[in-house]
Structures are given as C-alpha cells and as structure tokens.
Amino acid sequence: MKLVPLRYVSNPPNPWLTESLEWLGEPPEARVEIFEDEASRTILTRNNSPDVGFDVSLNIYRGCTHACAYCFSRPTHEYLGFGAGTDFETKIVVKTKAPELLRKELMKPSWKGEQISMSFTSDPYIPLETKYELTKKCLEILLEFRNPVAIVTKSALIRRDTDLLAELAQKASAQVFFSIPFLDAEVCRALEPFVPLPEARFHAMKTLSDAGVAVGLAIAPVIPGLNESDIPALVEKAAAAGAKTAFINMLRLPGNVRPYFLQKLAERLPTREKRIVNHIRAERNGKLNSSNFGERMHGTTEHWKIAEKMFRLACRRHGLNQPTEETRRENTFRRPTPQLGLFD
C-alpha cells in the first residue's frame, strides 16, 4: 500500500513520494497526531558535518509542535513519508523506547563516553515531554553513566529538570544553550508561534545557571534584514542570566523549508517580506540557500560581517566566549556495576 500524505493547510510536496493530495476548498483543521515508534533499533546519530558543533546526537522526538517557520529540520520529516510543512508541526513521532535504547548504546564496549547532544530533529522539551518524560529518563541514564550532555532548547520546560542537570553538571558535564533569536514579541509569534516568549527563556536560563549548570545563548537563526539589531541586547540579557558562551548562525532554507518559510513570512510579516528576501539573496549570491559546508551558516556581504562584529563586541563587553584557564575535565564516564550501585 502506497502512503499518500494529506497536505493539511500548507505542506510542500514531499520529494521522496510520487503522489500527493490537495484539498479542493477549505482543508480540515490541522490537528496534532502522535505516532509512537517502538521499532527503532538505535537512538544515537553520528554527525558528519563540520559546520555542526557536535559528533553524536540523541533524538527522542521527530517533528516539533513549536512550529518555527524557519526550522532547518523540517525536511527530515519527509523521510518518514510526511510533509515538511504543517505535518512537521502536527505529526509527531515519539521514540518510546529511547531510554532503553540509550542504555543499550552506553553499555557497548565501543562507547567511550563522548558528549551527547540533545537534539537535532526536534526540541527535547516540546510540550509532549510533560506526558512522556523521555528526555528526563534519558538524562537520568546519562547521570547514572556520568556521560556528558549538551542540550539546545527553546523551551522553559527544561526548568523541571534543574536538579537533575545540576547533578549531572557536578559529576560529569551538562551544558544548555537556549535558542533566543528575537526580542520582539510580534516577530516571535510570527515565526515561532508556539515557543515561550524570550523573557521566559531567559528566566529558565538564569534558573539553570543559579543551580550550577553551564548555560549559553544561541542567536539562531540570524535572519538578514530582520533581527541583526537584536544581537547586542540578546547578548546583554544572556550575560545577566548567567550565560558564559554564545554563538550565531545565519538562516538556512534547505529543501522545502524555503517555500514554507516564504509563505509564512508573507502571511505574518508582509511589510518586511521583500526586504528580508532581498537581504537573504544578497548573502547567498542571488540564491535563497547554500548547502556548501563552511558557507551555509554564514553570510558573505559586508552587512553580515558587521553583524558578526556586533556580536563579537557584545560578547567581549559582557564577558562571553572569553578564554579561561580551566583544565579539561578528565573522562567521567563509567558503566554502572552492582558494586558502584552499593558504594558510589
């Protein structure tokens, strides 16, 4: 039986499928559907891109109800037979056996305790996490094995796991980057409609920092012509919330992210659409995206260089990304044994 996806509201055609359906007239209201995946055999994914700052990722959820119009992970949903548009936001795959699979991976003799990044294809703290608690259970396993972890999130829900992350930070390593690309509430609601507002994310950042967890700021994406002017204030707020590190990335529009982003931009920020698109094309030599390693996270014009300089100056002014004399912590990873369970 061939899978034929329904294109709720706005789903660009899936390039991996030969058929699709479109509604004549008004489509039905988009609804969230949950698919529990119990068939996965592995849970850790290796990264082969030099542009991404991690080697191993743990992806518990696929799809994301945060519905960020610019999310570069949208095309990964097409591998499942879904669309990169509203399917990505409403058809959520939950890897219910993630904790068991993670434990199995960490017990392999070949595993040496590398830092694990959570996550790549979805935010590990989407609202469904309140029900499934799979991210929490995986963190408990990482603590048991004293395995370092790095998290990127847009959610304030992470405050629930403050004590767990603080203990992991003390016994191994835990680093949390909060993705906060915009200050303006109107822009937030337009491009990341179901994400907590910036103040909630900064509050969560301070909560973790006060508990001893290393926190950082991800100004990602920087959308040319839209949010470069937010950079100094975002860095200042992050520093006040305890951040010691930060990074910026330019907007990426791979595959069907491009038509979906452009559609939402035209619908929600119509007076800024032309300016933003022109800026993106200028940075990409007339195109809307670059897939080349070493280029896709950065712009090419003087406008982008000024944004980067603004970022570096703000970081220097507020003490972020400064070299330290701290020595690298030795490998903390260990496999639990009955003896450790009794005496450690």
Q: Is residue 2 part of a domain?
A: no
CA–CA–CA angle 297, 299, 301 (5° rounding):
170
Q: Is residue 178 part of a domain?
A: yes
Q: Is residue 15 part of a domain?
A: no
Number of domains in the chain: 1
Question: pLDDT (tens digit, 0 to 9) for every residue of the chain, 344 residues total?
Answer: 233 343 344 566 665 455 554 544 555 566 889 999 987 888 999 877 665 666 899 999 999 999 999 999 999 999 899 999 999 999 999 999 999 999 999 999 999 999 999 977 899 999 999 999 999 999 999 999 999 999 999 999 999 999 999 999 999 999 999 999 999 999 999 999 999 999 999 999 999 999 999 999 999 999 999 999 999 999 999 999 999 999 999 999 999 999 999 999 999 999 999 999 999 999 999 999 988 877 778 899 999 999 999 999 999 999 999 987 555 678 999 998 765 544 45
Q: Is residue 342 part of a domain?
A: no
Q: For residue 46, give its domain range.
A: 33-321
Please choose, from the candidates 145, 160, 183, 174, the residue with its C-alpha nearest in 3D space to the C-alpha of residue 340.
145
Q: Is residue 312 part of a domain?
A: yes
Q: Is residue 333 part of a domain?
A: no
Sheet of strand 174-179, all strands in order from the earlier edge strand to the far edge: 44-46, 56-58, 116-118, 149-153, 174-179, 214-222, 245-250
Before 119, cis peptide (omega within 30)? yes
Rounded to two decimals, the pTM is 0.88
Q: Is residue 13 part of a domain?
A: no
How far apart (Å, rounded) are the C-alpha atoms in residues 284 and 42? 37
Q: Do 104 and 285 form a contact (C-beta atoms < 8 A)?
A: no
* Number of helices and strands in the chain (H, E): 12, 10
Q: Is residue 262 part of a domain?
A: yes
**Can you give the CATH number for the domain in which 156 is found?**
3.80.30.30
Query: What pLDDT does residue 24 have?
Result: 46
